[in-house]
A and B are shown apart, each in its own frame.
Chain A
């Protein structure tokens, strides 16, 4: 899996690609925590390339979202694939994270 960041106007876009599971959650956790602590107030997390997420991966997303919130910032997640959307709904994490259908919707919500 890969996590990359890019600046887009005044927001930071985080592209997560691949699979976020037990095997990759260590790397995912380190990267997401680093980004959460980076001081960006507005971050968009692009889930388009995230193939699937297991409970270990869901915890990474939630921990990062909580961390950034604690420092006055916000993570907005957008465009989850069907399986990721399903996992977010089943786990109830969709009510704990801000998830949007598209990048545009996510940006507008800031």
Chain B
């Protein structure tokens, strides 16, 4: 694009992207969404669960769905916080949860080192514990308890998507 072409783009049509905030007044047309940003600190996990539990309760999710996501957040976030950052800096981890009435979709987005947690082969639970990868246990729980899990590397971000269908 030449500078003259660039100048023809009407700037007025560009509205800044804004994520719907948890505390925004409810919009009857919008599907329920929860957006959270936490620091890479283990203590933040409890606040994620608290906010998610509240979101789940307000949207009539079962206690099972609530607990499964709490387990998933516990496993995935502690994994990121422990292993994703070789430096001692503060990093932001973004969490977005959408509920369309049939599925709960949680997306966890971090700027840590590239790591696909689901690239590990499914854990063989028949093997004696001593031979097992204990760290893989949590990921195995998440993979089994949710309906769909996926990983994407997008630019410098790790993006984990967790999906569970709800029965209403």
Contacts and interface: CB of A to CB of B under 8 A. Distances in A.
Q: Is the A/B pair a real complex?
A: yes
Chain B interface residue number, banded:
20 to 34
A40 interface: no
Nearest to A82: B64
A55 B68 contact: no
A56 interface: yes
Interface string B68-81: 10110011001000
Interface stretch (B4-12, B89-97, B102-110, B132-140): B132-140
A54 B71 contact: yes
A85 B46 CA distance: 23
Contacts of A51: 63, 67
A83 B70 CA distance: 12
Given A22-B78, A23-B45, A87 B126 contact: no
Nearest to A26: B42
Nearest to A59: B134
Interface string A63-85: 00000000000000000001100
Interface in B117-131: 123, 125-126, 129
Interface string A9-47: 000000000010111000000000000000000000000
Contacts, number: 64
B129 A96 contact: yes
B42 A22 contact: yes
A58 interface: yes
Nearest to B138: A55
Contact of A23 (B46, B64, B125): B46
A21 B126 contact: no
Given A92-B125, A96-B129, A56 B74 contact: yes
Given A19-B70, A21-B74, A56-B74, 11 more contacts: A23-B49, A52-B70, A53-B71, A54-B70, A54-B138, A83-B67, A83-B68, A83-B71, A92-B123, A92-B125, A92-B129
Q: Which 5 pairs, one residue from A and one from B, show the smallest C-beta to C-beta distance?
A: A92-B125, A55-B138, A54-B74, A52-B67, A55-B137
